[in-house]
């Protein structure tokens, strides 16, 4: 009985060895997992009086283009721009770090561009690949000076709103040139003749076209859109993706500037 049992066990063992030997090595031991390339990270910063919902269409397009997107919210009317920059940008950068997504790309609307400039004013920008600003008041807005003189409405947009004039005390004029590759998309349509009369020249109802430029800008393209219409325009969204992915806007209407650092 014992001899027969040993014989049966031996037969089972021999067949088991043959069975497992026939399996490919990949089935018996886990293969090293290929390390996936890091996704680039796009941080979106909305404008004053807005929230992250105003940037959702852009965020969706960038996500489809392969970016990890971080669509930030911040209390735009509650604090000065310096404070808003320090409380907002680190959250976005940290979210990219946690997702192991790099390098950094930014898309800003209106005052969001000033938060970005303020944050990197005295910081290195080695981690920033490209930036697109939509309707940025890079040289301030004449409208800001006008509204700040009207007692009833001068504080409607909070401390940050009072920093966006065109005089030497205004924050945009205290910031230096940008140190990252920048593409600007500007609007040239206004539905407010009073505001346009104050701003003078081509404008989007809030920001004059000349004011969207800052030293260090690489490219600019304009569309007949209002200030708030920029973030939802399919044309604008396509150009945002073009610039972040390829480093250039598409089309012959692009203005080029010397942006050598």
pLDDT tens figures, 92-122: 999 999 999 999 999 999 999 999 999 999 9
| Percent of the chain clearing pLDDT 70 (strictly above) | 78
Query: For tokens 């593409």, what's the residue?
Result: 183
**Phi and psi for 114 in degrees, rounded to 5?**
-75, -35
Is 23 contained in some domain? Answer: no
| Percent of the chain clearing pLDDT 90 (strictly above) | 67
* Nearest residue to 200 (alpha-carbon basis) of 240, 254, 145, 245: 145
pTM over 0.85: no
Round to whole Å and give the CA distance between 166 and 150: 16
Q: List the domain range (segments joined by +) for residue 132.
A: 41-256
Collapsing DSSP to helix, strand or coil, 87 comes out as helix
**Given this model, what pLDDT does residue 143 score?**
58
Is 10 contained in some domain? Answer: no
Q: Which of 37-51, 65-79, 88-102, 188-202 has the least mean pLDDT?
A: 188-202
Q: How confident is the model at residue 123 (pLDDT cuts 50, 70, 90)?
A: very high
**Given this model, what pLDDT does residue 208 score?**
92
Is 212 contained in some domain? Answer: yes
Is 84 contained in some domain? Answer: yes
Give the CATH number for residue 93: 3.40.50.1820
Per DSSP, the residues of 109-178 read: ETTHHHHHHHHTTTS--TTEEEEEEES--TT--HHHHHHTT-TTTTTTTHHHHTT-SSSTTSGGGGS---
pLDDT at 228 over 80: yes
Q: Where are the alpha helices (DSSP H) in 56-102?
A: 56-64, 81-98
**Given this model, what pLDDT does residue 23 score?**
39
Give the total number of structural domains in the chain: 1
Is 181 contained in some domain? Answer: yes
**Given this model, what pLDDT does residue 169 score?**
73
Average pLDDT over residues 44-61: 97
DSSP letter, residue 208: B
């Amino acid at each position: 009985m014992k001899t027969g049992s040993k014989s049966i066990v031996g037969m089972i063992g021999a067949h088991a060895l043959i069975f497992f030997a026939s399996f490919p090595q990949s089935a018996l031991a886990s293969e090293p997992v290929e390390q996936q390339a890091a996704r680039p990270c796009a941080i979106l910063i909305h404008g004053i009086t807005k929230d992250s919902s105003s940037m959702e269409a852009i965020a969706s397009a960038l996500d489809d283009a392969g970016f990890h997107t971080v669509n930030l919210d911040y209390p735009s009317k509650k604090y000065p721009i310096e404070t808003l920059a320090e409380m907002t940008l680190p959250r976005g950068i940290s979210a990219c770090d946690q997702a192991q997504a790099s390098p950094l790309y930014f898309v800003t609307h209106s005052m969001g561009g000033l938060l970005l400039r303020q944050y990197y004013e005295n910081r290195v920008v080695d981690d920033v690949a490209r930036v697109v600003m939509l309707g940025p008041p890079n040289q301030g807005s004449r409208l800001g000076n006008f509204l700040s003189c009207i007692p009833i409405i001068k504080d409607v947009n909070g401390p940050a709103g009072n920093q966006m004039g065109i005089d030497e005390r205004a924050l945009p004029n205290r910031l230096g040139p940008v140190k990252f590759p920048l593409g600007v998309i500007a609007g040239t349509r206004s539905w407010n003749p009073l505001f346009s009369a104050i701003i003078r020249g081509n404008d989007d109802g809030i920001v004059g076209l000349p004011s969207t430029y800052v030293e260090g800008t690489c490219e600019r393209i304009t569309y007949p859109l209002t200030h708030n219409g920029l973030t939802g325009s399919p044309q604008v969204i396509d150009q945002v993706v073009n610039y972040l992915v390829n480093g250039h806007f598409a089309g012959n209407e692009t203005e080029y500037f010397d942006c050598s650092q």
